[in-house]
Amino acid sequence: MNRLTKDQRTVLGGRFDGDEALRRQIAALFGLLASIYGSERLVLKAGKLGALQEMRSDQSTERISALQKLVYEDPTIASPEEEDIPRIIEEIQDELADLLARKSVEETIEKRIAEKMQEKHEEYVRDIRSQVLKENGTVENAQTLRKYAELEKHEHQKVARSVLQHVRPSSLKEIVGQDSAVRSLLAKLASPYPQHILLYGPPGTGKTTAARLVLEHAKGLPSTPYAKDASFVEVDGTTLRWDPREVTNPLLGSVHDPIYQGARRDLAEGGVPEPKLGLVSEAHGGLLFIDEIGEMDPLLQSKLLKVLEDKRVSFDSSYYDPADPQVPKYIKQLFEKGAPADFVLIGATTRDPEDISPALRSRCAEIYFEPLSADSIRRIIKQAARRLRVKVEPAVLELMTEYAMEGRKAVGLLADAFGLALYENEGKRPARKFLQLEERHVKQAIQSNRLIPHAPSRSSEEPEIGKSFGLGVLGYMGSVLEIEAMVFPAREKGKGTIRFNEAAGSMARDSVFNAASVIRKLTGRDLGDYDLHINVVGGARVDGPSAGLAMLLAMVSALEEWPLRQDVAVTGEVSLQGKIKSIGGIYEKIYGAKQAGMKTVIVPGENAREIADPPANIEIVTADSVEQVLAYVRAK
């Protein structure tokens, strides 16, 4: 509200004091009226009320009468008596104060109304302009068109082309070394009732490619439920980050609230939340492939299991009002019925099955991809070399196989050697010929990548005393453990010592003491009379009891000076009674033994039923007791 000026306060607060003072007060009051109504408007108003002549009179009583008629807008008011003039002056002052206050408030309100009308007008003009631009298809301007042209130019510039994409198998026949896994995958996916699946296996064995190709094959079969356009949605479980408040969830979908995140502009203005669909909805009717599913957040896994059961994704928001007429039909349906999410889940992992959620495993069939053998690596390299138009000699192929234990690494090594050969040829391919890849190219690639042989051959035709080969598993890759033992008579009988790798672990130490008891039973000798030193070559850590048999063989060989065959690897837990107990990871261990050049693998008899399809060119022998193993590995 505007404040009264000093002169106005003086006039309105003044008192009658003689004719001159009265005239000044009357003149000031007329001045206030003129400031309120304006001079011209005041004259017109005085004419309508019959006060114009009185307003111009020299008589104070008549001028006061004119003031009363103008202030109260009453033409019937007569001239006042002199004794009433002070009272009338005060009443006129109070009324003028009210008029000034009302005028100040009205001006403020009118100003705000004008500002609001201007804002609405500008917004209306913007909406009209936007609508016209949309209708005319001219939403672009010079700057946006220039940026679009730059983006299009970049789209057509290709510098890096992944060699893995170039040599990736394009049919199921080109997947190498996984015939059993691919058949099992086909049986579970290419069916009227497809199953959710978990794929186990080391990296670079073709899990993702197999799943993609099996879906394409299944879409062409009449008995499967997949449409021709069924989607294959691929995502890495390690990158699936989400907010427990459901502000963002790329896998399942989330709700964009109008206040915190902002839905579309037209929805946000009406306070309508907008659901955003996730990958499970994108995969509806097709296949959702989650690589490294074992790395996903456990709570997100639980939410995914709920979607698998319901085949729908539900959405919720405190901003959703079902009675709001501004809510579009599709948003109402998403909040009230949810979004369809009927898909087949395939999760791939390099973890052990025990590390995967039991709830997830119970809902999925399980398929195991085997580690690639040397023969499979050779086939992968040859297949990739044909696509790259590269000629690989047998010696070069063997060298690459020695340093690559998975398909992805083998193709990468081939690509590095190919690049070196092409560089030496000044970037030109021979006309109508395959580029020759030489051994020196591969060696340069090996040296630059600091590669080491993954499974150097350890087998030998010559028997040795105090040395045996055990088998271990790291991830899904089997490996050979070289174990050696030395025995010396103790300086004092009955006070012998046993020394063992500290890094090998407590399990391996327990296996040594178990073996000592069995040796005493077999030979009648007390190891307390000897100083015994056992070593796992390379400092490998032994996490389970499966190396117990190999340790016993090395110890008894050193004690009795029995030479042992060096082309045999053994695995199994030894009980105190000398029995060979079952162990895990049997397939991986057999593959590891084959990679190391072993001719024979001895496994517990209890594991025999697990070996349905052993690899070629390696003999599998089962044994139930230490005596049976000694009879086989002791050199004649």
Residue 546 falls in the annotated catalytic set: yes
Nearest to 504, CA basis, from 542, 472, 471: 542
Q: Are 578 and 519 in contact (CB under 8 A)?
A: no
The CA-atom distances, in angstroms, between 276 and each of 143, 248, 256, 269 are 30, 9, 7, 18
Query: Is 589 labeled as catalytic in the residue annotation?
Result: yes
- Separation of CA 629 from chain center: 50
The answer to whether the CB of 629 falls within 8 A of the CB of 602 is yes
Rounded CA gap, 252 and 276, in Å?
Answer: 9
- b/e 106-139 (16+ beta carbons within 10 angstroms → b): eeeeeeeeeeeeeeeeeeeeeeeeeeeeeeeeee
Catalytic residue among 60, 65, 317, 546: 546
Q: How far apart are CA 561 and CA 288, in angstroms?
A: 60
Q: Which of 45, 219, 589, 594 is catalytic?
A: 589
What is the widest separation between alpha-carbon atoms in the chain? Answer: 153
Alpha carbons 500 and 517: distance in angstroms, whole number: 16
Paired sense of beta strands 563-566 and 460-465, if any: antiparallel
Round to whole Å and give the CA distance between 292 and 237.
5
Q: Residue 469: which of 398, 394, 550, 391 has the closest Cα? A: 550
Per-residue b or e along 140-151, where b marks 16 or more CB atoms closer than 10 Å to that residue's CB: eeeeeeeeeeee
| Catalytic residue list | 546, 589
